């Protein structure tokens, strides 16, 4: 992909599908996100900003600029929005608990916004907004909540990151592109 004159030289985006590890190399031989990108992305030291676990999908930014990477992952600095499907019926009490936060060995896990956006059989679709991203933050948060009917932990079945700061995911799964200079400017203008 040739770089256009209005393309960022500091940021590119990948729409990560399920089944890829966000790492430069995997000792278990699993596919990494670099398998979806041109070789020069790896060779030139482009690094992922934050993580998405193997089963998660969606927006993943890469940069060669450590300051931008640190600013976008610093807790409280940048809003991230996810759409998730949870097994079970998510109640208003669950939402209140997720907003208040639950203690875990990783610290307090909480969401800034939890909004029901759909139902399908025994599943609930939610929009989640967080401003930090501890390891498996959303999966652990909902796993700490119990289904009132069965007493079992809620389980995140599907997780997709749809935005980071001002940047919204707008490319097909498995594809990548540079951010435009305007998208870059909008994304980093509000960072510390």
Residue with tokens 């409280």: 76
Residues 6 or more apart whose CB falls under 8 angstroms from that of 142 comprise: 84, 86, 94, 98, 153, 154, 155, 156
Return d(Cα 87, Cα 120) in angstroms, integer: 10
Burial class (CB in 10 A: 0-12, 13-18, 19+), 116: middle
Q: Minimal CA–CA distance to 61: which of 166, 158, 189?
A: 166
Tokens of residue 15, six digits: 């729409």
Return d(Cα 187, Cα 192) in angstroms, integer: 12
Residues 6 or more apart whose CB falls under 8 angstroms from that of 27 comprise: none
Contact present, 57 and 64 (Cβ < 8 Å): no
- Is 53 one of the catalytic residues? yes
**Of 26, 43, 53, 147, catalytic:** 53
Q: Give catalytic residue positions.
A: 53
């Amino acid at each position: 992909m040739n770089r256009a004159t209005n393309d960022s030289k500091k940021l590119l985006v990948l729409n990560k599908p399920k089944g890829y590890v966000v790492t430069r190399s995997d000792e278990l031989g699993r596919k990494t996100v670099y398998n979806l990108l041109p070789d020069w992305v790896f060779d030139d030291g482009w690094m992922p900003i934050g993580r998405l676990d193997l089963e998660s999908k969606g927006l993943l930014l890469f940069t060669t600029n450590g300051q931008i990477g640190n600013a976008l992952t610093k807790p409280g600095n940048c809003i991230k929005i996810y759409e998730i499907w949870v097994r079970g019926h998510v109640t208003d009490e669950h939402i209140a608990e997720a907003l208040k936060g639950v203690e875990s060995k990783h610290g307090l896990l909480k969401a800034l916004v939890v909004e029901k956006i759909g139902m399908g059989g025994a599943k609930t679709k939610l929009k989640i907004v967080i401003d930090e991203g501890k390891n498996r933050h959303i999966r652990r948060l909902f796993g700490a909540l119990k289904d009132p009917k069965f007493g079992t932990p809620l389980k995140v079945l599907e997780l997709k990151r749809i935005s980071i700061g001002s940047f919204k995911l707008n490319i097909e799964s498995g594809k990548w592109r540079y951010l435009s200079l305007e998208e870059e400017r909008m994304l980093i203008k509000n960072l510390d």
